[in-house]
Structure 1
Amino acid sequence: MFRDRQQAGRRLAERLEGRPGVGWLVLGIPRGGVVVAAEVARRLGAELDITVPRKLRAPHNPELAIGAVAEDGSVYLDERALSALRVPAEYLQEEVREQLREIERRRTAYRGDRPPPELGGRTVVLVDDGIATGSTMIAAVRSLRSRGAGEVVVAVPVAPPEAVRRLRQEGCEVVCVHEDPLFVAVGQFYDDFTQVSDEEVRAILQAFWRQQEGGGGA
């Protein structure tokens, strides 16, 4: 159990310390993942930025993922879920469009005119506050690789073993503080899982970026 996302980030950073992390880029997945990622980046002395994948929601059950879309528009689909739920093609197309609109809104809200970081050959640590199915992470990992990232390390405080297995099948190293076979939802592992606002995400990033550009440690 984690007290809050900040503590989860510090415990996650402990798992990553001692590695040759020169030039590492820590990417948080908004919103909650940015809080965790900031703690990781601070502890590792790494650069902090974001990537904005979005879950594709099942019809009549928005908590259930049927896939995900990355910010470059690439789509990952969970074919088993699509088949079991008999998701209509028209629904899926509209859901992809809706999530792409939300991705663009968030990118603008968080980044403004700031260009995305260069990924060429870099080790990227992809951080969220937890994983449920793994669909969103898979979409993000594939997108980062297509954009030239070197090694991609998925780092999360908590996940079910099945999601960790799926990500390792993608060829990722997965660093997870707590794997729980009785996983129901990410929030069950936090005492404080208060929703993070757009304003909080923007404030964390802006403060971090100011320190980075000023030459000081975060």
Structure 2
Amino acid sequence: MLFQDRTAAGQFLARQLADYANRPDVLVLALPRGGVPVAFEVAKALNANLDVLVVRKLGVPNDKELAMGALAIAQHFVGTTSRHEKKLPKTEIASTGVRVLNQDIVHQLNISDEIINSIVVQEQRELERREQLYRDNRPFPDLQARTVILVDDGLATGATMRAAVMAVRQQQPASIVVAVPVAALETYQELKSKVENIVCAATPNPFYSVGRWYEIFPQTTDDEVRSLLHKSYKKLSTIVPE
């Protein structure tokens, strides 16, 4: 194991991101649910705003932990195509959101378009539920010309992070930083060329799974996500007058 829990991982990661502290252009975006406790510690240490970018993993039939892709909400993201987007694997803007598919897994398991579309519809419903639950009618932050730090608790296949990068890139930020405590080496190397910076504490090989590198790794609940976001917003409201 590398980290006691997500809180400890976030505190460790924050030290590696110290160059981004106290910068008004920096925004920390967590990938819920597991990325929120990590991102909370990062945002707190950097004195940065914290928000969430809801992304759903598209699990293969009969093995939902194996990602064949990911889905990010589309309603907030309207922008132009950048040179970075062209490098993303099989990425498209669909009516259901920003969708990234791992074609190697899809072909290897012979997953039909019909099955993929069925899973996308199901995950879209859950994505919209979480978006409404976490955001409480707050508008999505303006990312244009911002430095956006995307935080998760780890990267295995990287499907959810690739969808997040695609979604954020459409808002034309100044730069995108991916920050994770641990990642599979192949995924780390792939993402490194897709963003302006990637900060990762460790890339163990073989990787196995994200949870293997934590001593305590429970499922993060919706209530925990809401509580941490509320704490972060409350802290900011005491600093910035309305």
| TM-score (norm: length of structure 2) | 0.86
Match of 1:184 in 2: 208
Match of 1:37 in 2: 39
Q: Deviations over 1:30-53 (max 9, x none)?
A: 111000000000000100000011
Match of 1:141 in 2: 165
1:172 is displaced (CA, Å) by 4.1
Match of 1:56 in 2: 58
1:101-116 matches, cutoff 5 A: 101-116=125-140
Secondary structure of the corresponding residue to residue 157 of structure 2: coil
| Letter in structure 2 aligned against 1:49 | D
1:147 is displaced (CA, Å) by 2.1
Match of 1:7 in 2: 8
Q: Is the 8 Å Cα contact of residues 154 and 182 (structure 2) preserved in structure 1? A: yes
| Letter in structure 1 aligned against 2:99 | V
1:210 is displaced (CA, Å) by 1.4
Structure 1 stretches of 4+ with a deviation exceeding 6 A read none
Structure 1 distance, partners of 2:174, 2:58, is 27
Question: Does structure 1 residue 18 correspond to structure 2 residue 25?
Answer: no
Q: Percent identity?
A: 42
1:60 is displaced (CA, Å) by 1.6
Match of 2:80 in 1: none
**How many corresponding residue pairs?**
216
1:215 is displaced (CA, Å) by 1.4
Structure 2 distance, partners of 1:171, 1:35, is 23
1:169 is displaced (CA, Å) by 2.9
- Relative to 1, partners in 2 of residues 1:7 and 1:146: Cα closer, same or farther, differing over 3 Å? same
Q: Deviations over 1:132-178 (max 9, x none)?
A: 10111001001101122221100000011101011123234210001
Structure 2 distance, partners of 1:28, 1:19, is 16
| Letter in structure 1 aligned against 2:53 | T
Structure 1 distance, partners of 2:146, 2:68, is 30
Within the candidate set 128, 142, 150, 2:152 is matched to: 128
Match of 1:205 in 2: 229
Secondary structure of the corresponding residue to residue 105 of structure 2: helix
1:61 is displaced (CA, Å) by 1.3
| Letter in structure 2 aligned against 1:108 | Q
Q: Is the 8 Å Cα contact of residues 178 and 195 (structure 2) preserved in structure 1? A: no
Structure 1 distance, partners of 2:202, 2:16, is 11
Secondary structure of the corresponding residue to residue 109 of structure 1: helix
Structure 1 distance, partners of 2:196, 2:104, is 22
Match of 2:73 in 1: 71
Secondary structure of the corresponding residue to residue 167 of structure 2: helix
Q: Is the 8 Å Cα contact of residues 20 and 26 (structure 2) preserved in structure 1? A: no
| TM-score (norm: length of structure 1) | 0.95
How big is the alpha-carbon RMSD for the aligned residues of Structure 1 and Structure 2?
Answer: 1.2
Q: Is the 8 Å Cα contact of residues 20 and 46 (structure 2) preserved in structure 1? A: no
Structure 2 distance, partners of 1:115, 1:80, is 36
Q: Deviations over 1:12-38 (max 9, x none)?
A: 001110347432000111111000000
